[in-house]
Every structure is written in structure tokens, then in C-alpha cells.
């Protein structure tokens, strides 16, 4: 009986020692589980925010060494500010000899790491400041160890003769698109234009032919109302002249020519 009581007392003492004495060597598993903190790490050097786990028994000096590998900030000039989950300031880890657990740091708080040395305070996420090697298209085409050179040798993709022939045929078909319909349309004729989803609008044919902005045949229209997109000029070329927002281009298939007089706009005085 005495032996049983002694065993019970020892077990109770072991648990109590583990709870009040972090340095105890007994009951290490339960102590170790409670000594791990899950924290977020952010840095002035990068926009990346990562989740890390640290032991409360780490000294701040050791912690800075670990954070140097994560953030790129030098441990010697590192400042660590602690904020809670809402972003509220908690404290600064400023004693290198103190342990992490001696500060009021809790799970899911954030360690905001910065480097006090202005000469190394560089944002590594800003790629615009990184000097890049650039190669012209001509120099790239001359190389025999490039992806383009590999495709040429093996006739892959656009370098496949059959693909090139197909693209040439498609290009010719696009260039001839609308030619037959365009032959029946004359400059100066009155017309009615049907735009899918936009209804019909009347106007006058001002241009029939090919353009620089798209392959195929196009008809330039001077609308009776400001339903167009321009004044007859597209990408620096003046195809015809009209008031701004009265000009537009459509495919010949959208145009019907004939007796389409300008529709009068009734005012309140004209209504009966």
C-alpha cells in the first residue's frame, strides 16, 4: 500500500513539475508540445508572408539567425516587431539573450522583420530593378541552340510545311472575304446597315475596299446619326471624311444599298 501511494505521489509531482518548471527533464513530451509557437513571418524585403513554427526556448539571437535565412535581413541589423492577429502592436524582440517565451508572444501572431541598415533595405519582390539580359529577334534567330532552332530542324509547329500551307490558305481566304458582296456596293449610295445585336442604321457608303487594320473587304459608312466610332480615320489613315462619331466600317454582308432616305427626327412640335 505504501509503495502504491508513493508511486501515485511521484506521478503527481512529475506532472506538477512539468507544468511549473520548463527546465525539468521529466515528462518532456507534454512540455515540448506546449513550447511550440505557430507564427507568421513577414519582411520589408519581400511581399511574401509565411507560416513558421518556433520553440519558445529559442534565444532571440538564435531566432534572428533562422529569420535571416527566411527573410534575407541580416541578423546583426535585424529588428523584430510582434503584432497580434488584428495587426495591433504587441512588443519588440530586442534582447538577444532572452528567450522567445519570455515575451508575450502567442500562437498566430506575426513577426514583422525589418533591416535597420538602409544600404541593404531592398525589396526583393520588385523585379523591375533587376537588370535583365535582352536579345533582339535577329540575334535569337541566328542561334542554333534555341527552341526556335529545334523546331526548325524538326519542322514543328509553324515550321511544319503543311501547317505553313494551311495558314497561307487561311490568309488568302481572309484577304478575299467579302469581295463578291463588295462588288455590288458603290461609293455614294444610300444604305442600311445591320449590326448584329445593335439593330439597323442608315447612312451613305463612303468607302469600299481593303484596309490596313484588318484583312478582307470593308465598307466605310457615314451614318445619319452619331452611332459610329470615328471620323473616317482608323489608325492614322483617313479613308473618308465625316463628323466624329458618324463614321464606321462594316463587312459588305451587313450592308444593303437602295432607296434608304435619311430618317427624319421628330421633335415635340412635330408630333400630333
pLDDT in tens, the chain (272 residues): 555 555 555 555 555 444 444 444 444 444 445 699 999 999 887 777 899 999 999 999 999 999 999 988 899 999 999 999 999 999 999 999 999 999 999 999 999 999 888 776 566 666 676 788 889 999 999 999 999 999 989 988 888 888 777 777 777 777 788 888 899 999 999 999 998 777 899 999 999 999 999 888 999 999 999 999 999 999 999 999 999 999 999 999 999 999 999 876 544 454 44
Q: Which phi and psi angles does 234 have, rounded to 5°?
A: -130, 125
Quick check: helix, strand or coil at residue 154?
helix
CA 128 to chain centroid, in Å, comes to: 15
| Angstrom distance (rounded) from CA 250 to CA 258 | 17
CA 243 to chain centroid, in Å, comes to: 40
CA 57 to chain centroid, in Å, comes to: 41
C-alpha cell at 214: 484588318
**Region of residue 148 (left: phi > 0; alpha: psi -120 to 50; beta: else):** alpha
User: How many CA atoms lie within 13 Å of 89's alpha carbon, on the beta-carbon side?
Assistant: 5
Give how far Cα 117 sits from Cα of 79, 99, 121, Å.
Answer: 10, 24, 6
Nearest to 191 by CA among 247, 262, 265, 239: 262
| Angstrom distance (rounded) from CA 195 to CA 227 | 11
pTM for this model (two decimals): 0.41
Amino acid at each position: 500500500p505504501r509503495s502504491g501511494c508513493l508511486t501515485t505521489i511521484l506521478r503527481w509531482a512529475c506532472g506538477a513539475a512539468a507544468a511549473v518548471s520548463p527546465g525539468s527533464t521529466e515528462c518532456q513530451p507534454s512540455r515540448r508540445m506546449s513550447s511550440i509557437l505557430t507564427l507568421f513571418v513577414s519582411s520589408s524585403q519581400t511581399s511574401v508572408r509565411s507560416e513558421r513554427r518556433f520553440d519558445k526556448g529559442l534565444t532571440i539571437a538564435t531566432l534572428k539567425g533562422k529569420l535571416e535565412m527566411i527573410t534575407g535581413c541580416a541578423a546583426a541589423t535585424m529588428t523584430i516587431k510582434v503584432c497580434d492577429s488584428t495587426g495591433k502592436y504587441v512588443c519588440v524582440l530586442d534582447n538577444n539573450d532572452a528567450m522567445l517565451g519570455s515575451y508575450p508572444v502567442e500562437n498566430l501572431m506575426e513577426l514583422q522583420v525589418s533591416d535597420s541598415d538602409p544600404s541593404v533595405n531592398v525589396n526583393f519582390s520588385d523585379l523591375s530593378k533587376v537588370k535583365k539580359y535582352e536579345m533582339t529577334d535577329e540575334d535569337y534567330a541566328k542561334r542554333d541552340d534555341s527552341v526556335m532552332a529545334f523546331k526548325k530542324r524538326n519542322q514543328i509547329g509553324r515550321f511544319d510545311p503543311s501547317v505553313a500551307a494551311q495558314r497561307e490558305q487561311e490568309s488568302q481566304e481572309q484577304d478575299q472575304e467579302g469581295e463578291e458582296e463588295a462588288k455590288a456596293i458603290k461609293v455614294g449610295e444610300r444604305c442600311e446597315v445591320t449590326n448584329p445585336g445593335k439593330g439597323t442604321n442608315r447612312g451613305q457608303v463612303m468607302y469600299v475596299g481593303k484596309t490596313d487594320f484588318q484583312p478582307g473587304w470593308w465598307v466605310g459608312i457615314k451614318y445619319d446619326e452619331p452611332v459610329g466610332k470615328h471620323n473616317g480615320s482608323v489608325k492614322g489613315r483617313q479613308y473618308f471624311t465625316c463628323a466624329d462619331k458618324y463614321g464606321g466600317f462594316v463587312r459588305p454582308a451587313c450592308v444593303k444599298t437602295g432607296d434608304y432616305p435619311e430618317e427624319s427626327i421628330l421633335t415635340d412640335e412635330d408630333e400630333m
